Structures are given as structure tokens and as C-alpha cells.
Amino acid sequence: MSNSDFGLIGLAVMGQNLVLNVESRGFQVSVYNRTTAVTDSFVAAHPGKKLVGAQSLEEFVQSLASPRKVMIMVKAGGPVDAVIESLIPLLAPGDIIIDGGNSLYTDTERRDQWLGDLGFRFIGAGVSGGEEGARKGPSIMPGGPASTWDVMKPIFESIAAVVDGEPCVTHIGPGGAGHYVKMIHNGIEYGDMQLICEAYNIFKAAGFTPAELAKVFTDWNQGDLESYLIQITSKIFAEIDPLTGEPIVDKILDTAGQKGTGKWTIMNAVENAVVISTINAAVEARILSSMKDQRVHAATLLEGPPAQLSGDKALLVQKVHDALFASKIISYAQGLALIASMGQEKNWGLDLGKIAAIWRGGCIIRARFLNDITDAYRSDPSLSNLMLAPFFTNLLNQFQQNWREVISTATLAGIPVPAFSASLGYYDSYRSSVLPANLLQAQRDFFGAHTYERIDKPRGEMFHTDWPEVIG
């Protein structure tokens, strides 16, 4: 019978949870997985639910009401294309394919063109929130034609997280815009995580135990830093390893993994000439963390001060709070500036206020201060940089002294704080009306006759100096 409202291919954890979420909102859902035993056990594990387990793609497609709505939740890259290719001969014009994985936005643009030419409708949708978000309400970032969004809107709005009565989903823009914004979300996620790790490293050097840190992060989560990542961090510090009876955080090897979305973000930023130094530092910190053997060797050769801090712990907590919050503002300012720049370049018509609003719930970077970011863009949609919104200007002015002190203290103790420092470097550069690039221009002119502009002549007028010859 062709009467399922929605179909999903790929029953890994995210896929399964999304299916249960859609079904719980009153829709009948057909499911297909390449290994059909997974489909069978999934359907069997949820008796009484409006689920149709298909044994073949043909059966799956036939079970869907027209226009068919098929969501693909498989590994990004080749597997997405392979599923689409096998679907094409089975679907009818006007059917909708949704890719809900972490696909590279340029792949989404290619698929949008490819499927559009064949008469199908395609949505590239970023879905954030991990397993729990998928089940209870993720943040969804769909891109594609507005007319296709209109068809999908009732289902997407019913399954998304809700904040202040607003669902955490909105039509982001055409083509690859949805996956693009999800990519930047992930870059910001990398930045948030690294900043928290740097705070932890400073506290560790000051002798805080995991139990004390659980308390610090629980307290922070009651205040202006309230966010999902701060919350889970408090729970991580409180978790005890059943094998040793000691805090689990002390038993986990210090080498970070990454699937690539952070790297894609910084590659895109370089291409667009937008500075995202905090995210850059976060990606590089993961790379350095993975060089465990080299670090262990270097630790025996390269000197530095002992990574030990002393002093009033409560005062340190306040200062690190300020440094973390200030750096976090910078990271979002950079990520949003990149979205704005790319949106203009691509003519996507992006609404930064709406993007910030749908990040307030469901996703990994959800945080109280996204309300303030939403307000900042709603009151000034053409805001050139988040730091210049009065609310954030005030916070940065308030935090900057402690931010500097934390970075100086850490640096003098040999504690690496690359993301804190990168953020402060951006702040100080951005607020400098004069930078030393006059010297840089002179150097370029010296060795390459690249010319320069003068401070006492109109912009655009170029000058060259006959520099002395350098012998040898």
C-alpha cells in the first residue's frame, strides 16, 4: 500500500532516532536499510508503531504516498550518491529526496543540479543534535528550492526542537545553503569544544580535581554560559570509570578524532578571505593532539616552565569564565561573518537572525547566548560583525582585562591556549585602527615593486619607492 508519509534510508543510530521522532508526530514511516536484518530488528523492537519495514528499495518506494519524501541518512560522500543512483529509476518526477547527513555543501550543489535536471526535488538538510536530538528534536538546516521546503515544512517543523514556541528549523536558502550552514555550525562546535578544553587545562594546572570541575561547570551552566556543551562537560567530570573507580576523564587518551567538517570550514574561510582564527586554532589543536608520540618525545627535549598555577581558585574561576565567554563571542562573530560573506557571494539571501534562532535549541552548540545573538541580528540584519552589537561590545569591554590576564598567566606557565589567544589576537587586530601592514607593504614594494597607497593621498593612488640595492 502506498500510504507512508515519509521514508528513511539508513538505519544507523541517527536514522533510527529520526524515524521514531517522525513517527511520534503522527506520521507513518517506511524504512529501508541495506542490511535488511537491521530493518527487521528495528521494526520488531517497536511494535505498535506506524512503521513499514521494506525488504527492498522497490518495496520501500512503493510503500510511499506521492509525492514521495525519502530521507537518506548514510555516510557522507560516495554512499549518498550510491543510494541516490539506486533510487532514481524507482522514483517519479516531483518526488523529494532529502540528504540529512553531514554532506559537503558542494556535493549538495552538484546533487541539487543533477536531481533537478531529472525532474526530482532535492533538499540538503543539516541535522544537528546527536542521537538524543534526532529522537527528541534536532535543529534542522534545510537547503533547496523554497517550493520544496513548503512541502516538507509540516514534517520538519513537527520533529524539530522548539524554543519560545518557534521550531528550530527554517528554510536556509537554495542549493547547498543548508549543508553549508551546518558545516559552519560544526566549525563553531569545534571552537566551543576547544575553548572549554583550554579552560580545563588551566584549571588542571591550578590543581582542580574533576569533582571540583564538575561543580564549576554546573555553576556556569546556571549562568550566562549555559549551553549543552558546558552541561555535558559538567557531567563528564562527574563520571567515574567503573574499571578503576577514578574519574573517567583522567583515563581517556588525549588524542582527538575528527570527521572533517572543521577542516572543510577553515578551507572555505581561506577561500573567502574571512578570518576564523578560533575555529582554525581548534582544528589545529585536534591535529596536534593526535601527534601523541611526537609530543611525548618533545616533552623530554623542549623546555618550558612547570605547568603549575597557584592562587585563589574562586578568582581564577571568574577570570577563566570571562576569557572563555569572550573567546566564544569571537568564535561566533567569526563563524557568522563567514556565513554572511558566503551568503552574499552565493546570493543565498541568508537571514542570520533566523540561523541563530534555530541554533538556540536541538543542536550541539545550543546556548543561552544564542538568544542574544538572535536579538542582535533581528535588530540589525546588516550587522557587519557580532562584536559591534551593543550587547556584545559591552561584554567584550567588560571581559577583556581578565581575558588578557588568563592568557598571560597560562602563557607564562607554559600552558597552551591556542584558541583563547587566537580569539584575543582577532579582537585586538579588529579594534586596531592602525596595524603594522605599512611595513609589510614596504617589504612587498621593496622586493617586488608591488606598490603601496599613502596615508596622505586618496585611496587607490599607488606609489613606488626606488629602494636601495641589497648586495649578497
62 versus 106: smaller Cβ distance to ligand 6PG: 106
The whole-angstrom separation of Cα 393 and Cα 437 is 25
**Cα(373)–Cα(328) distance, integer angstroms:** 12
Known active-site residue 182? yes
Judging by DSSP bridges, how do beta strands 166-167 and 29-32 pair with one another? unpaired
CA distance 207 to 189: 27
Q: Which is nearer to ligand 6PG, 229 or 373 (CB)?
A: 229
The DSSP 8-state label assigned to residue 4 in this structure reads B
CB of 89 to ligand 6PG, least distance (A): 31
Where does this chain bind ligand 6PG (CB under 6 A)? 102, 128-130, 186, 189, 257-259, 261, 363-364
Q: Which three cell numbers stand for residue 472?
A: 649578497
> C-alpha angle with apex 363: 359 to 364, nearest 5 degrees?
115
Q: How far is the CB of 133 from ligand 6PG (least distance, A)?
A: 6
Contact 383, 332 (CB under 8 A): no
Q: To the nearest 5 percent, what fractions of the chain are helix, strand and coil?
A: 55, 10, 35
Please, is 333 exposed, middle or buried when counting C-beta atoms within 10 Å of its C-beta (0-12, 13-18, 19+)? Answer: buried
**Which CB sits closer to ligand 6PG, 261 or 423?**
261
Instruction: Quote the least distance from Cβ 185 to ligand 6PG, whole Å.
Output: 6
Which C-beta is closer to ligand 6PG: that of 128 or that of 402? 128
Residue closer to ligand 6PG, measured from CB, 15 or 129: 129
Tell me 68's DSSP state: P
What is the smallest separation between the CB atom of 123 and ligand 6PG, expressed in angstroms? 17
Q: Kindly state the cell numbers that stand for 86.
A: 539506486
Minimum distance, C-beta of residue 367 to ligand 6PG, in the bound complex (Å): 13
**Residue (219 or 284) nearer to ligand 6PG, CB:** 284
3-state secondary structure of 233: helix
Q: In which residue are the cell numbers 506506524 written? A: 50
Q: Following DSSP, what letter does each residue of 102-170 receive, concatenated? A: ---HHHHHHHHHHHHHTT-EEEEEEEESHHHHHHH--EEEEES-HHHHHHHHHHHHHHS-EETTEESB-
Kindly state the smallest distance separating residue 189's Cβ from ligand 6PG, in Å: 5
Which residue is closest to ligand 6PG by CB? 128
Smallest separation (angstroms) from ligand 6PG to the CB of 257? 6
3-state SS string for 240-270: ECCCCCCEHHHHCCCCCCCCCHHHHHHHHHH
Is residue 191 within 8 Å of residue 335, measured between CB atoms? Answer: yes
Closer residue to ligand 6PG (CB): 254 or 303: 254
Minimum CB–partner distance for residue 129 and ligand 6PG (Å): 5
Q: Which residue among 23, 69, 109, 182 is the active-site one? A: 182
- Catalytic site residue 49? no
Joined together, the cell numbers standing for residue 261 give 567538517
Which of residues 28 and 280 has its CB atom nearest to ligand 6PG in the complex?
Answer: 280
Q: In what order do the strands lie in the sheet with 69-72?
A: 51-53, 29-32, 6-9, 69-72, 96-99, 121-128, 139-143
Cβ–Cβ < 8 Å for 94, 121: yes
CB of 205 to ligand 6PG, least distance (A): 25
Q: Grid coordinates representing 382?
A: 546588516
For ligand 6PG, the closer of residues 4 and 128 by Cβ is 128
> Per DSSP, what are the bridge partners of residue 463?
452
* DSSP single-letter state for residue 69: E
Q: Which of 23, 109, 189, 198 is catalytic?
A: 189
Residues labelled catalytic: 182, 189
